[in-house]
Structure 1
């Protein structure tokens, strides 16, 4: 995604701000013990969570991101002792059909114990795009595997309506609604950094997540609203 290519190493620094620190703590607790597991880091960015997963015992971590700039920096930030594993990075688009096959990873289909998707699903413009992302995630998971996803809180839409603009002060971010659809909003985010980071994404209604999950074959979709939002879905035994 071109809007991320230029941010590179700056993106990792964003993880050390107060709100992301809370998100990181929750992500770590949600992933829990990954010892011996194969994990897919979907929208891996510069590899912050990939390294967290390896640190929590994952036997193999595959990181995929649409931004070549992010992947370039992820490889640069990879500690020397992990240079030959367990982490590998690839450039790929989760809305592309048969993503793993296109990356030469067809042998890994249906073998991942966990897929962790931090701030991936909010780049789907509608439920169809979201379904394409979830298709690739479902394709990656083994029977009984788990998806953990961090995504903007869709319940805020009901609370704030189309005039939603949030501003969390000097330690947070500013969200501005730029377009309104029947199924959600397009938002512009300005991250309070120097230099500032800005990007566009989407906040869809819960009903859109439900339609996409059902279309992709996930048997459940549950939400846990804390300082962030997380989806937990298990793949049915086929």
Structure 2
């Protein structure tokens, strides 16, 4: 199975409204990114522009979003038409070679998880490197490879489930089922060990590779709801990664 975002674009956009997306995913990623003042930023695998818009509103001086899915880019451009923020969107494959660019920051949400093997991962890392100027930074949220190392809890309370293969191997599927109020859809990611990620980035010219945990955004209206989020945070389905182009 290969996930075709042209077929699930509208559902995926709606899934961004799930509570874990705002309380954990968005909060954690934006906190790690930090200040965007004066930064030229590219969102690689931008989808319908959810994070692209947030990055622009957070202070990015120049903002570009690229995605392989024409339907996703159409949705992003429609949003830009309805609420202009000065964002440029392009249809691009993150695996393909691009001319050298000079972005200060590249951000990807759930890009690397679609690499079936080390060769495909390497092509993504090279593409990211080509988009950044020397000293430019890459930040991503990524499915946690350690899902194959611990007993996966029941994530249904958070709006999704995860199914794994009977055994772990490079390229093993990690199948997310996203449950919405009126429908559900599936997204297939692939297992590659974290040391392979580090090697791929190193070979593509990056340094200072680091993995960071997810965090829960405080919400005074929710009170102390840490117990509700315990399985998510103790057995995280995702991690954050950042590194710097040498």
Distance 1:170 1:235, change over 3 A: same
Paired with 1:89 and 1:152, the residues of 2 have a C-alpha distance of 25
Q: Give the one of 194, 199, 203 matched to 2:191.
A: 203
Q: Give the one of 116, 122, 138 matched to 1:147.
A: 138
Taking structure 1 as the reference length, the TM-score comes to 0.85
Question: Once superposed, what is the RMSD of the aligned Cα atoms?
Answer: 2.0
User: Counterpart in 2 of 1:103?
Assistant: none
Q: Which runs of 5+ in 1 are unaligned?
A: 101-105
SS at 1:52 equivalent: helix
Q: Give the one of 217, 237, 241 matched to 1:231.
A: 241
Distance 1:234 1:12, change over 3 A: same
User: Counterpart in 1 of 2:209?
Assistant: 221
Q: CA deviation at 1:188?
A: 1.7
Paired with 2:197 and 2:135, the residues of 1 have a C-alpha distance of 20
Distance 1:71 1:180, change over 3 A: farther
**Superposed, which structure 2 residues align to 1:169-188 within 5 Å?**
169-178=156-165, 180=167, 182-183=169-170, 185-188=172-175
Q: CA deviation at 1:149?
A: 0.7
User: Counterpart in 2 of 1:51?
Assistant: 53
Number of aligned residue pairs: give it.
Answer: 221
User: Counterpart in 2 of 1:128?
Assistant: 119
Please tell me whether the aligned partners of residues 179 and 186 of structure 1 are also in contact (alpha carbons under 8 angstroms): no
Q: Which runs of 5+ in 2 are unaligned?
A: 215-232
Distance 1:15 1:220, change over 3 A: same
1:32 lines up with 2:23 in the alignment: no
SS at 1:191 equivalent: strand
SS at 1:221 equivalent: strand
Q: Which has the higher contact order (CA 8 A, sep 6+)?
A: 2
Paired with 2:148 and 2:56, the residues of 1 have a C-alpha distance of 35
Q: CA deviation at 1:182?
A: 3.2
1:191 lines up with 2:178 in the alignment: yes
